[in-house]
Amino acid sequence: MSIRIGIYGYGNLGRGVECAIKQNPDLELAAIFTRRAPEKIKTVGENVPVYHIDKASEMTDKIDVMILCGGSATDLPVQTPVIARLFNCIDSFDTHAKIPAHFANVDAAAKEGGKVAIISVGWDPGLFSIARVISGSVLSDGKDYTFWGKGVSQGHSDAIRRVEGVLDGKQYTIPVKQSLDLVRSGADPELTTRQKHTRECFVVAAEGADKAKIEQEIKNMPNYFAEYDTTVHFITKEELDRDHSGIPHGGFVIRSGKTGKDLENRHIIEYSLKLDSNPEFTASVLVAYARAAYRLNTEGVSGCKTVLDIPPAYISAKSDAELRSELL
């Protein structure tokens, strides 16, 4: 019998979840829930039941795990506690600073409902967090580095588009190769924000707009660009659509540490991702952790968890014995 999944919120991430479910024969898409008019939703697959989110609470017996696909800013802080009372669920809450508060809210709700909720699932937070915790536990004397990119930052792209005279734009975060190599060499450098990443912007300007002014405004924007070496390229809308329509991303988690009587031996642990589609990869992580939420709940567990609380075997479709003989 397959695990019945509900998708709560249907944007890029929700569509990614729909695709990912099709890649996993032990999972089955039970329903999609949307805030929009259900009849106007065009799903990736055929004959997928789409309901208004108000219907979700009537379907607790039809869904084993709900995957929340809303945003971290306003959707998930409200939605996850509500859903966790009714369903086992997974979210990708990624506002690092607010995780403890979100965890507490969801934990109370999930315990009340006797359900398991796994929050902050994805790659950062998510797979990168696992890499940081394992590497840091193994190499106690060491230093952590996280680099992101090359990839599209939605927040920075939005910031560009808010500049006067800008019609459209896309921003890539790019790790500085020399700094990455320095870290890999075991030099344990102290790196400034500027030394870790550069920012590259592709901008479509309105006709007659002052490009020099736009460029300066972008480059000096506090929090977003001022602390970085930023490059601005002006291109046409056609070029933007042709060359920059993807949502690639990725990054590197590196721990450099020492062991031995006099800490004379150096070790480097590196975990990296190179992703063609950030939302589809994140969706694939969410779907794998849905297995864990379901399995834990069938074992009688309830409450809020994160990826750090989940044994690797729990996210696999293979049995423990298969994993031991094939992958250990």
Looking at the Cβ atoms of 87 and 93, the one nearer to a copy of itself is: 93
Could you give the string, one character per residue 98-127, with x where binding to a copy of itself holds by CB under 8 A and - elsewhere? Answer: -xx--x----------------x----x-x
Q: Residue 293 — φ and ψ, nearest 5°?
A: -60, -45
Position of tokens 């695990």? 3
3-class secondary-structure state, position 66: strand
What is the number of H-type helices and E-type strands within the chain? 11, 14
Strand bridging mode 151-152 / 265-275? unpaired
Could you give the string, one character per residue 149-188, with x where binding to a copy of itself holds by CB under 8 A and - elsewhere? Answer: -----------------------------------x----
Looking at the Cβ atoms of 128 and 225, the one nearer to a copy of itself is: 128
State yes or no: residue 302 binds a copy of itself (CB under 8 A). Answer: no
State yes or no: residue 24 binds a copy of itself (CB under 8 A). Answer: yes
Bridge partners (DSSP) listed for residue 116: 303
Distances (CA, A) of 101 to 93, 104, 294: 11, 5, 24
Report d(CA 127, CA 124) in Å as an integer: 6
State yes or no: residue 73 binds a copy of itself (CB under 8 A). Answer: no
State yes or no: residue 320 binds a copy of itself (CB under 8 A). Answer: yes
167, 187, 226, 308: residue in contact with a copy of itself (rule CB under 8 A): 308
Tokens for 94? 């990624």
Report d(CA 175, CA 254) in Å as an integer: 13
The least distance separating a copy of itself from the CB of residue 139, rounded to whole angstroms, comes to 6
The least distance separating a copy of itself from the CB of residue 120, rounded to whole angstroms, comes to 6
Report d(CA 267, CA 325) in Å as an integer: 29
The least distance separating a copy of itself from the CB of residue 233, rounded to whole angstroms, comes to 25
3-class secondary-structure state, position 23: coil
The enclosing H or E element of 256 equals strand 249-259
Looking at the Cβ atoms of 138 and 187, the one nearer to a copy of itself is: 138
Residues forming contacts to a copy of itself in the complex (CB under 8 A) are: 16, 19-20, 23-24, 44, 96, 99-100, 103, 120, 125, 127, 129-134, 136-141, 184, 259-261, 265-277, 280-281, 283-285, 288, 291, 306-313, 315-317, 320-321, 323-325, 327-328
